[in-house]
C-alpha cells in the first residue's frame, strides 16, 4: 500500500552569475551518503514541514484554497535553508552574518524557529518565495513526500553556504546546465524530479525570467506515471506544467 505523503518544502535558491551577462546560478546540496532517504543525492535545500511552521502562519492567512498549508511550507523552506546551509531569505530585516549565525545556533540547540526569530527581533516574510512546483512521487523506496518547490533570489555577496555537516555534507553553486552535465558524466547523482526541474531551470537566463515562467504555469501535484512513449516504457509527467522534457525511459530513471 502506498504510504500517505509527508508534507515537505524545497527552495530553489538563485543568485547572479560571476559575469554581468552570464547565467544565474542555483544552489544545490549533497545529502549524506548514509541517509536512508536520498543518501548521496544532489538536491535543493529543504525538508519536511514541522508543526512549528504552522504556528508561524499569520492569523490573517485565509483558510481557503490550501493557503495556510502553502504558507507553512514556505516557512519550512526558509527554516530548512537556514539550518542546512546557513542562508536566509524571507526574513525581515535581512540578518547580518553575526545575527544569522546566532539564529542558526539557537535552532541547532533545539530552540523553536518562532522563538529564535523573536529573540533576534526578526519576522518571517513567506511572500518572498514564489511557488514553482509540487512533486509527489508514488514509487519511492523509503518514504513518500508531497514536496512544494519554491523559488527565491539571494544577493551574491550574501550567498556563501555553510553546511550543517549532518544531513548536508556539501553545497555548491552552479548553473542548471552545469548540474545536468555533471549528472550525465556521473559526477553527481540526481533523481527524476530534480532532473526535470533542472531541465526547466536551464531554460532561464536569470531569476526574473524564472520567476515570470513560474507565475505563467499552474501549480498541481505532480505524480509521475508509467506509460509508453515511442514504444519505450517511460516514466512520465503531465505536459501542461512548463517542463521541456516530460518522459524518461524507465531503464534510466533514478528515483532515490
Q: pLDDT of 82-137, one tens digit each? A: 999 999 999 999 999 999 999 999 999 999 999 999 999 999 999 999 999 999 98
Residue 202 has pLDDT above 90, yes or no: yes
**SS3 assignment for the chain:** CCCCCEEEEEEEEEECCCCCCCCCEEEEEEECCCCCCCCCCEECCEEECCHHHHHCCCCCCCCHHHHHHHHHHHHHHHHHHHHHHCCCCCEECCCCHHHHHHHHHHHHCCCCHHHHHHHCCCEECHHHCEEEEEECCCCCCCCCEEEEEEEEECCHHHCCCCCCCCCEEEEEEECHHHHHHHHHHCCCCCCHHHHHHHHHHCCCCCHHHHHHHHHHCCCCEECCEEEEECCEEEEECCCCCCCCCCEEEHHHCCCC
DSSP-derived pairing of the beta strands 130-135 and 221-222: parallel
Least confident of 34-38, 182-186, 190-194: 34-38
Would residue 234 count as lying in a domain? no
Q: What is the pTM of this model?
A: 0.93
pLDDT tens across 39-95, in order?
A: 568 999 999 999 999 999 999 999 887 999 999 999 999 999 999 999 999 999 999
Residue 139 has pLDDT above 80, yes or no: no
Would residue 56 count as lying in a domain? yes
Range of the domain at 103: 6-222
Tell me the mean pLDDT in the region 186-214.
95
Tell me the mean pLDDT in the region 180-209.
94
Residue 19 has pLDDT above 90, yes or no: no
The dihedral sign for the CA sequence 237, 239, 243, 244: positive
Residue 36 has pLDDT above 60, yes or no: no
Q: Give me the phi and psi of 205, to 5 degrees please.
A: -90, -35
Would residue 251 count as lying in a domain? no
CATH number of domain containing 23: 3.90.79.10
Q: Give me the phi and psi of 133, to 5 degrees please.
A: -165, 175
Average pLDDT, the chain: 91
Residue 224 has pLDDT above 80, yes or no: yes
Would residue 172 count as lying in a domain? yes
Would residue 173 count as lying in a domain? yes
Residue 1 has pLDDT above 60, yes or no: no
Q: How many domains, in total, are found in the chain?
A: 1
Would residue 227 count as lying in a domain? no
Instruction: Give the separation between CA 128 and CA 6, rounded to whole angstroms.
Output: 24
Instruction: Give the separation between CA 145 and CA 90, rounded to whole angstroms.
Output: 23
- Give Cα separations from 202 to 31, 178, 199, 214 (angstroms): 22, 9, 5, 13
More confident residue, 140 or 246: 246
In the prediction, which pLDDT does 34 show? 58
Owner of C-alpha cell 481557503: 64
Would residue 84 count as lying in a domain? yes
Q: Determine what percent of the chain is predicted with pLDDT higher than 70.
A: 93
Amino acid at each position: 500500500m502506498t504510504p500517505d505523503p509527508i508534507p515537505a518544502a524545497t527552495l530553489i535558491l538563485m543568485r547572479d552569475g560571476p559575469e554581468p551577462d552570464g547565467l544565474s546560478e542555483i544552489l544545490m546540496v549533497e545529502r549524506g551518503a548514509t541517509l536512508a532517504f536520498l543518501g548521496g543525492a544532489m538536491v535543493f535545500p529543504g525538508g519536511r514541514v514541522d508543526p512549528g511552521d504552522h504556528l508561524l502562519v499569520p492569523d490573517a492567512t485565509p483558510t481557503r484554497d490550501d493557503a495556510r498549508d502553502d504558507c507553512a511550507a514556505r516557512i519550512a523552506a526558509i527554516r530548512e535553508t537556514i539550518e542546512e546551509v546557513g542562508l536566509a531569505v524571507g526574513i525581515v530585516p535581512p540578518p547580518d552574518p553575526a545575527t544569522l549565525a546566532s539564529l542558526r545556533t539557537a535552532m541547532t540547540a533545539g530552540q523553536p524557529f518562532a522563538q529564535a526569530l523573536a529573540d533576534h527581533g526578526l519576522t518571517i516574510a513567506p511572500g518572498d518565495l514564489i511557488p514553482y512546483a509540487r512533486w509527489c512521487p508514488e514509487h519511492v523506496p523509503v518514504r513518500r513526500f508531497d514536496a512544494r518547490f519554491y523559488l527565491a533570489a539571494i544577493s551574491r555577496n550574501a550567498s556563501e553556504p555553510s553546511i550543517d555537516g549532518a544531513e548536508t555534507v556539501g553545497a555548491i553553486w552552479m548553473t542548471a546546465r552545469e548540474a545536468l552535465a555533471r549528472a550525465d558524466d556521473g559526477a553527481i547523482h540526481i533523481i527524476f524530479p530534480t532532473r526535470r526541474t533542472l531541465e526547466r531551470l536551464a531554460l532561464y537566463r536569470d531569476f526574473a525570467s524564472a520567476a515570470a515562467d513560474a507565475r505563467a504555469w499552474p501549480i498541481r501535484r505532480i505524480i509521475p506515471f508509467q506509460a509508453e512513449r515511442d514504444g519505450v516504457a517511460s516514466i512520465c509527467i503531465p505536459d501542461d506544467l512548463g517542463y521541456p522534457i516530460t518522459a524518461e525511459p524507465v531503464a534510466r530513471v533514478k528515483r532515490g
